[in-house]
Chain A
């Protein structure tokens, strides 16, 4: 089932802090209109580690190394694994209309991402539940949540990957196996070697094509900005949230 939308509201919100990025996603969820989903494209400055909703920050992240490297740490409202956000484009798609089946909804929203990557010359494929691969390497990971009948899917599209840096800030299950794990990840994860703008333009086109409707560029509204700032301060910057597990 492909939901019928009137148009897509595009927000290009630049490179912002991890805390603001997560807070704005949440604020946009509470303001999304019935037939006008939001496509938000953004980056992370400073670089940041996000952990999945069910993860333990202390178990997953080397906090000392993050502090030394000026890397922020935030808990997402979505499940999945820990991610170092640096050389990537992140998208959020927020909608009130979506397939109730979770797998179908992942596929639906990953499809325009795959279309974009194909347009850029990559043989991209969906890899259930939540990845997109090119030549057997993961180039995009996604995560979803549903709150009060509103769906948020955010996903990364890797432009470049520094696996050594990744493992200087992420902990591995076994220190003894660290070298092997790093080699495995190097073999299984890859960047596109494209610019942020190339991917951003491609996504606007592919989302418009996939849903057969126009996209209009918009700005974050004042009330959304105010809500995001409040949520940023009281939730995503808080010890209680980030060390919840």
Chain B
């Protein structure tokens, strides 16, 4: 589907059990779906193995900014890892929170 190329950036600070900071770049397609162009997730949380966060950020590119799709992608990517300080629910909310700030 053709997208209009207007990139928007947004950020959010989300308090879960730890602090999650999101820097989001997204664009809208012709049907007004908001699609992730890039996302950077930072904070004082723990994730084992640590390298999985880079994979997750890559996997989220192209994902529609909708709770169900985000959560499903995060669950799948973090399937064999262990996170402390956030879960797929709170991380989805942290990312979506960028749209309301």
| A52 contacts B44, C-beta separation under 8 Å | yes
User: Contact size class for B?
Assistant: 10 to 19
| A54 contacts B44, C-beta separation under 8 Å | yes
Alpha-carbon gap, A130 to B47, bound state (A):
13
Per-position 1/0 for B15-43, Cβ under 8 A of A: 00011010000000000000000001111
Alpha-carbon gap, A54 to B18, bound state (A):
12
| A80 contacts B46, C-beta separation under 8 Å | yes
| B46 contacts A79, C-beta separation under 8 Å | yes
Alpha-carbon gap, A192 to B69, bound state (A):
48
CB distance from B53 to the nearest CB of A (A): 6
CB distance from B89 to the nearest CB of A (A): 18
Alpha-carbon gap, A5 to B18, bound state (A):
34
* Interface majority SS (helix, strand, loop, mixed), chain A: loop
| B44 contacts A102, C-beta separation under 8 Å | no
| CB of A121 within 8 Å of the partner chain | no
| CB of A56 within 8 Å of the partner chain | yes
| B21 contacts A129, C-beta separation under 8 Å | no
| B48 contacts A54, C-beta separation under 8 Å | no
Alpha-carbon gap, A169 to B82, bound state (A):
31
Asked, given contacts A81-B44, A245-B40, whether A54 binds B13 with beta carbons under 8 Å apart, the answer is no
| A82 contacts B44, C-beta separation under 8 Å | yes
CB distance from A154 to the nearest CB of B (A): 13
Cross-chain contact of A79 among B13, B21, B45 (Cβ < 8 A)? B45
Within B33-77, the residues touching A (CB, 8 Å) are 40-50, 53
Q: Please name the 6 residue pairs, one residue from A and one from B, whose CB atoms are nearest each other, closest first.
A: A81-B44, A79-B46, A56-B42, A129-B84, A245-B42, A53-B50
List chain B positions with a Cβ less than 8 A from chain A.
13, 18-19, 21, 40-50, 53, 82, 84-85
List chain A positions with a Cβ less than 8 A from chain B.
52-56, 59, 77-82, 102, 129-130, 143-146, 173, 245
